[in-house]
A and B are shown apart, each in its own frame.
Chain A
């Protein structure tokens, strides 16, 4: 039995539809082009949004059963300070997969890699003391746990969609979240004015470039020192022992499959370094970590080629230093990661 059918030709609005659509597209193109031009004139550039979809794309690039597969995990220091291409050139491997995520603990990702039976590569773990050596709740949950969860449910369709969006984000500044026409943005513009250009930009490989020449460094350094002091709450001895036990198990599983784990302390400077050195004594935290887990350790203070780099705001490398630092780190890592002579035989 037919129900009422509409949209038959008799009911459709007549008119010059080809002309209507052509003019509409031209008008829309002109408006969006004008907005894009205005954004660029204000110094805003296309920017890739670092989200779960982009992380999943990177995670899916981790090759199984490849002992040379390098994976970078950690927080913002690794994301800003390590450039996969430069590191790859120094190590003589394919570009590492950048899985570090700003402002969060990498423990969920380490657990994920440790549980992945086909992962046999090298995990480069950025150890940011006030994330890694803090009370246990800092090691759990957070954005990286959510990224791992979303990756587990990641579909081919989601990957295609993210790649298409990535293509737009790389080309158009109008894709920037802060310039979209949302109610929240309108309210922010009303309160604080139109957004200024970002000083950090994400690259398609998920590494980030921070241009500290664009910001007020004195203020940024003071803010960073204050935030570090507020965030640095070292784990109590019992908590740290429990965390060490878990880390030992996680590293052990990766090593048992032939993989390797390298803990890395990225350069810090000024007040941030002073706070970290004072609150997280090396013998209690760093040395114990390397000793108890049996992993490799690279602490920037032990290598003059790494210690020469300075973080403009105390905690992160400028993009101009990220490439030479990555090359220097590669040079430090290469002999450490070279298979032992007996293995080569």
Chain B
């Protein structure tokens, strides 16, 4: 009988093989494989930067960027469900538990898919959030979800492989569904408010990697940089 850790290692290995296989036959195929072969491991943080760097300018950097944000969201909602705010309703509890489960799965998916290319686990810093306060928790949830949507929307064009872009697309719309729900929990009818959707053309706002990481790092002990996308954590 296999141990759980053996099984998960096997699973991760299988997933990684699949992932690399797709990378190998993807649109960027030859170049991507060649890059991958001599690619510096993402799990060796660059010592010249403060914390972790997303590494060379390629699809793995963008996927790790997504993985970093999903790690942060998963950690946040795990805490929200573990220590529910006072006065939480059954319906809010169920919805926030669903979101926790989605974010944990997004995190686990990127971890499995990236395999050895994955950045390490990040340590969050939620000291600015009062988990016993509904107002504080929902405000933080809104910040995470809205930032997540602008991050995926803003980084989509940086992805070279259509298969990876499709996966990002499958996730970002779920983040937008979360964002709309959280906004409505705070104030009904603000699911597409002017703070997140441009009222002149009704496009969701998008954000650069630098803008997003600046926000994300305020919730992280392990700071994330993206030197090759013009951002170093301070």
Report whether chain A binds chain B: no
Please give the residue numbers on chain B whose beta carbons come within 8 Å of chain A beta carbons, in ascending order: none
